[in-house]
Structure 1
Amino acid sequence: MLKKLRIQNFKGWQDTGEIEMAPLTLFFGANSSGKSSIGQFLMMLKQTVESPDRKAVLYPGGKNSAVQLGSFHDMVYKRDLKNKIQFDYCWTLPETFSGSYPYKTDKGESVMQFAGNELAFHAEIGMAAEALSSLALSKFYYELLEDDSAQLTVGMKRHEEKAKYKFDASPHEPKRTQGRPWPFDAPVRFYGFPDEVVAYHQQAEFVQELNLRHEKLFNSLCYLGPLRIKPDRLYTWSGVEPESVGYAGENSIAAILAASDREISMGKRQKFYPLKATIAQKLKEMGLIESFEVEAISEKRREYEVKVRPKGAPNLVDLPDVGFGISQVLPVLVQCFYAPVGSIIIMEQPEIHLHPSAQSALADVMIDVINSKERRNGKGSEDRNIQLIIETHSEHFLRRLQRRIAEGKITQDSVSAYFANVNKAQATLDSLQIDEYGNIQNWPENFFGDEMGDISAQALAGIEKRSRENKAKQEVSE
């Protein structure tokens, strides 16, 4: 789970400042305020990690990518190639990372031992000094933390003139193997130690484990965009288990069918239900339908149809024959409950096409997601440890979360909310201070529009209108 994030010189952000992440992290703001850029940046890093090109420092995306950010010139702040994109993040590890290595001392040799349950990462990327058409990783380093205290710092820094890299470690550098101290080649992508680091140092295999831990972090990211695919009357499933519902929800029905062995519970002492039944129940709780079915049209064909019974309707109908909001929120629900244990789910506008009461109910669903448990084939049980990163415009969604915090259904520490403020000379990402009673202490001006201004203006206009009408009546009577 991500704990902290900071991005500098990326798109409209000169500096987001340190973002404190929580199990449920929300980003609000006006259109084109930069809030979407945060999720896009994380997805670009995921694309880079999964790119087959180990030498590509960043992969901004292609035709079939989650995000397509163009060139470095398009991404860097103010399109100034002198700027470097810098980023920091910290995440918790599912198990303790530990190891040891020998290092030289004035009296001979000693052993450095380390252990930690969190990793922090920093990197700087810009145009190479020797060739402004080439992108280069200026430096990167990892910090292994135990209770927020650094136990080990390792990284690499580029020598701009020689275009080679130097390996650094603190508080002690691993003892080198015998031989000439050759400089190192370029790192792997934006985060990885090359094989030479292990070859040139004794017992330095732990740096490759750092590479692996980093890759696991970004493999856990899932993304669902704001525009979901239209529903079909028939769905074909080959029997393959999809990694996620897809960027536009195109694999939602396949995910439901593939999860027949999985059961979900909404938390402690709550019953477990199959994933399909969980989805149906959440749609019903949101006031959208009465029932939901996914059925094969024939035993000999791998084609399926989705049937729903809308509220107040006597019969089941095909998914395309009901309101668009149902088909748009379905991928949201499936992604939330289908994602593997430990997933980080990034979603843009999950509330799109939903009426206000359904938007409020969606907030309750998200609370259930971060509290949920899972088991397979009726055996065992484990916390799903899902983290949700949501960009939203919904006042109703936030108001329901505030209420649930006041009611004690979710703790204030489980929610982190930010507002992208573009009313200043320099865009800022302002943390919303939510207290234990659900109150927002620093509510931004006109956060969701000028509601009180509209009410006052309506009342004043009504008074003036009645005054004119009464005056007109008096003139007629005279």
Structure 2
Amino acid sequence: MLERIGITNFKAFACQDVDLAAFTLLTGLNSSGKSTVLQSLALLRQSHEAGLLDEADESGGFLLNGELVRLGTGQDVRHESYTEEDPDITLAVVKDEIRYAWRARYGREDDLLGLLEAPSGPTSWATRDLPSLFGHGFQYLKADRIVPDVSYPRSHDAAVRRSFLGARGEHTVNFLRAHQDDTITAKSLQLPEMPSTSLREATDYWMQRLCPGVNIETVGIHGTDTVRLSYGFGSGVSASNRYRPTNVGFGLTYALPIVVACVAAQPGSLILLENPEAHLHPQGQTWLAYLAVAAVSAGAQIVLETHSDHVLNGLRLAVKDGRIPASATAVHFFRRNGQTAEVISPSMGPDGMLSDWPKGFFDEWENSLEQLLD
């Protein structure tokens, strides 16, 4: 499990360490640095997959534009308050108290920032020592995920060989089609009423926590490289017709990649989630927190960015109910401080209570209520 990420001269941060836990929740005002944390991890993964994070040489570096993130050029990502003594960009992660750091040379118009320094060792060290970040089981789901459509892409490489859902979740439907009979072995992901432990059944039953009675069907479209998703409601004699996603609420399709990523989580998986609560009713937002906790209990590590107090409270309730120990959680509140961002990290007790509640941290309900009662 990753224990910390260090960011220097990258986007929102001049120099910042952020502690990570089995379940890390990032929140704060817009443009305060939350996405920078996720993008830093995704950038390392993207650069590694391109073979660019080996020992420093002229051909290696940070690949700013690729499958996971598209960040522009050096001028778009270097923090504006850098110093001449330290003008370059450094990203680091800590695992088992060992720090792995990569330092890249700033180039204003470059979209490949040349690597100046990398952890020493054989070229295979990264996958071996940091399997959750660089190995199988990594998922990064951005906020701009798939929307209801008539079909979705079919890629054997992404959905079958790499078990990757796509940064927008675009391979989720094909992943479900290919892996629907896989067995979910983690007890935490098996709901009591599930008739079987297949991935498809587990996905249906967790999706029903968001929309009661819904079920999913995925099929390949003959003669094309696409697959089709449909929704039904009810079962048996009360079953509805099948509906294409364009005729069903937006939130179901938008949440589907999040649900599948968590249900399919394996021990050692690293799952990065941006705004999983978008387009969902508050009850569904709370259940997404419970699902993420279940994935953590199955052995995954989750870093989740959210603006939802329902997601936060779902995590707090899960701690209070004993589904996850408080020591397995980290909560970070981000806010701007001049040109840079700062991070406040209240600790959580076994009763789900937080040690600090800084101004701007999910306090809008109280602020509005106070004005209503005034």
Q: TM-score under structure 2 normalisation? A: 0.83
Deviations 1:326-355 (A, max 9, x none): 010011111222355422111111111001
Match of 1:308 among 218, 221, 231: 231
Q: Encode CA deviations 1:196-253: one digit per residue, 9 max, x unaligned.
A: xxxxxxxxxxx34424425743234321111112233345757661531111111111
Q: Figure out how many residues of one structure are paired with residues of the other and give that number.
A: 353
Q: Partner amino acid for 1:274?
A: S
1:304 and 1:127 mapped to 2: Cα distance? Answer: 42
Deviation at 1:46, TM superposition (A): 1.2
CA offset digits 1:117-161 (Å, max 9, x no partner) = x64312333359xxx9995544344xxxxxxxxxxxxx4xxxxxx
Give distance in 2, aligned partners of 1:215 and 1:269. Answer: 25
Call closer, same or farther: CA 1:137–1:314 in 2, change over 3 Å.
closer
TM-score (normalised: structure 1): 0.66
Give secondary structure in 2 for the equivalent of 1:273. Answer: coil
Where does structure 2 lack aligned partners over 5 or more consecutive residues?
A: none
Change (3 A) 1:307 1:420: same
Contact 2:275/2:306, CA 8 A, preserved across alignment: yes
Q: Is the 8 A contact 2:2 2:93 kept in 1?
A: yes
Do the aligned partners of residues 90 and 133 (structure 1) sit closer, same or farther apart at CA in structure 2, a change above 3 Å counting?
closer
One-letter amino acid of the counterpart of residue 281, structure 2? H
Paired with 1:133 and 1:228, the residues of 2 have a C-alpha distance of 24
The letter for the 2-side match of 1:230 is V
| 1:53-452 alignment, distance < 5 Å | 55-62=59-66, 65-78=67-80, 80=82, 82=84, 83-91=87-95, 119-127=98-106, 136-141=114-119, 155=120, 193=121, 207-213=122-128, 216=131, 217-220=133-136, 221-234=138-151, 237=154, 241=160, 243=162, 244-267=164-187, 273-286=197-210, 288-294=211-217, 296=219, 305-310=228-233, 315-316=240-241, 317-372=243-298, 385-423=299-337, 426-452=340-366
Distance 1:222 1:396 in 2: 23
Decide whether the 8 Å contact of 1:127 with 1:134 is kept in 2. Answer: no
1:6 Cα deviation after fit:
1.4
CA–CA distance in 1 between the matches of 2:111 and 2:274?
Answer: 33
**Which letter does structure 1 place at the counterpart of 2:101?**
H
Runs of 4+ residues over 4 Å off in structure 1: 132-136, 234-240, 268-272, 295-305, 310-314, 423-426
**Counterpart in the other structure of 1:4:** 4
Over the residues paired in the alignment, what is the CA RMSD in angstroms?
3.2
> Shift of residue 72 of structure 1?
2.3
Residues 296 and 303, structure 1, Cα contact 8 Å, conserved in 2: no
Structure 2 residue identity aligned to 1:125: A
In the TM superposition, what is the alpha-carbon distance from 1:47 to its structure 2 partner? 1.4
Q: Quote the Cα distance in structure 2 between the aligned partners of 1:29 and 1:58.
A: 27
Q: Does 1:28 align with 2:32?
A: no
Query: Taking every aligned residue pair, what percent have the same amino acid on both sides?
Result: 25
Distance 1:416 1:239, change over 3 A: same
Change (3 A) 1:89 1:309: same
**Secondary structure of 1:289's partner?**
coil
Structure 2 CA distance for aligned equivalents of residues 72 and 298 of structure 1: 42
Higher relative contact order (CA 8 A, sep 6+): 2
Task: Show the counterpart of 1:170.
Answer: none
Query: Is the 1:290–1:308 contact (alpha carbons within 8 Å) kept by the matching residues of 2?
Result: no
Higher strand share: 1
